[in-house]
Amino acid sequence: MMEELVSGIQYGFEWETTGYTERKIHYNGQPVIYYQFMTDASGRMIHVVPDGCVDLLFCCQPGKPSARVCGTVLQGKELYFEADTTYFGVRLSARLSLLLPNLPLKEIIEVQAPFEDSLSVYKDTGAIIAELQGFSERIRGFERLCMPLLTGDARPIRMIDYCLTSMQRSNGSVTIRELAEDTGYSERYIRTKFEQSLGISPKLYNRIIRFQRSLSGIVRSASSLTDVAMESGYFDQSHFMKEFKSFSQFTPIQLRKNRKTTSSFLW
């Protein structure tokens, strides 16, 4: 199995908080991003964008810890985070997200569900993670408590697995017709199974892949916006601009202009 190429960029966590840090670790070839940040004394709304991933988010507030399973959003939006609080997160690749036990992904699209409702077996994890000190210790604690979520003991539907890999390899440009020809299944069957598994259509997932590619090019490289659009699979500038703003709330120019003003990133 090829390593999943897109793990999800959330610039709001990086730019609109303090002390942001992250670490990528691979489990059975699949990337998992651990991250941690702290909100300011007033609390604030933080921008989130579509990434096709599932985040396990732990609020490490003393005396009031909590843990949530956060499905991908479908458009750029803002979410409220508690004031003066440390958050620890675990971002699962799409393939690992599929293997969350007894949790259909379509039920958590644009939803932040409590662990006790969605992953009841791990309901005490939030309190334990909150008591640990330091980013590295929390990573080790999560691995100790939740390794089955990281190694994917179950297996996704082989056809869905193949589609995810093809979509990643093609930069989100492979068509449903091409997937049907490759797998021998009908376009309707693929679309139905994909939506049942991930909660979104193959077309939308392709769009999210392209958006995340372009987001990486804008916030993590010096490439021109024209090059970013082409490398991300957009061949029409107006389409690129419209798609990017829909997914991020901002134009590529606005986002690039503010990417390095971490300490004063205000909209």
- 3-state secondary structure at position 157: coil
Q: What is the mean pLDDT of residues 230-236?
A: 88
Q: Is residue 160 included in any domain, yes or no? A: no
Whether the CA torsion 132, 137, 142, 143 is positive or negative: it is: negative
Please state the pTM of the whole predicted model.
0.90
**Which tens digits make up the pLDDT trace of 27-80?**
988 899 999 999 988 767 999 999 999 999 999 998 899 999 999 999 999 999
Q: Is residue 48 included in any domain, yes or no? A: yes
| CB atoms inside a 10 Å sphere around CB 218 | 23
Q: Is residue 22 included in any domain, yes or no? A: yes
What DSSP string describes 160-209?
A: HHHHHHHHHHTTT---HHHHHHHHSS-HHHHHHHHHHHHSS-HHHHHHHH
Q: Is residue 262 included in any domain, yes or no? A: no
Q: pLDDT value at position 7?
A: 63
Q: Is residue 31 included in any domain, yes or no? A: yes
Q: What is the mean pLDDT of residues 221-237?
A: 88
1 pLDDT higher than 80: no
Least confident residue range of 175-179, 184-188, 204-208, 263-267: 263-267
Q: Is residue 198 included in any domain, yes or no? A: no
Q: How many domains does the chain have?
A: 1
Q: Is residue 37 included in any domain, yes or no? A: yes
What mean pLDDT value characterizes the chain? 89
Contact indicator for 222, 188 with CB cutoff of 8 Å: no
Q: Is residue 58 included in any domain, yes or no? A: yes
Contact indicator for 113, 125 with CB cutoff of 8 Å: no
Host domain of residue 34: 11-151
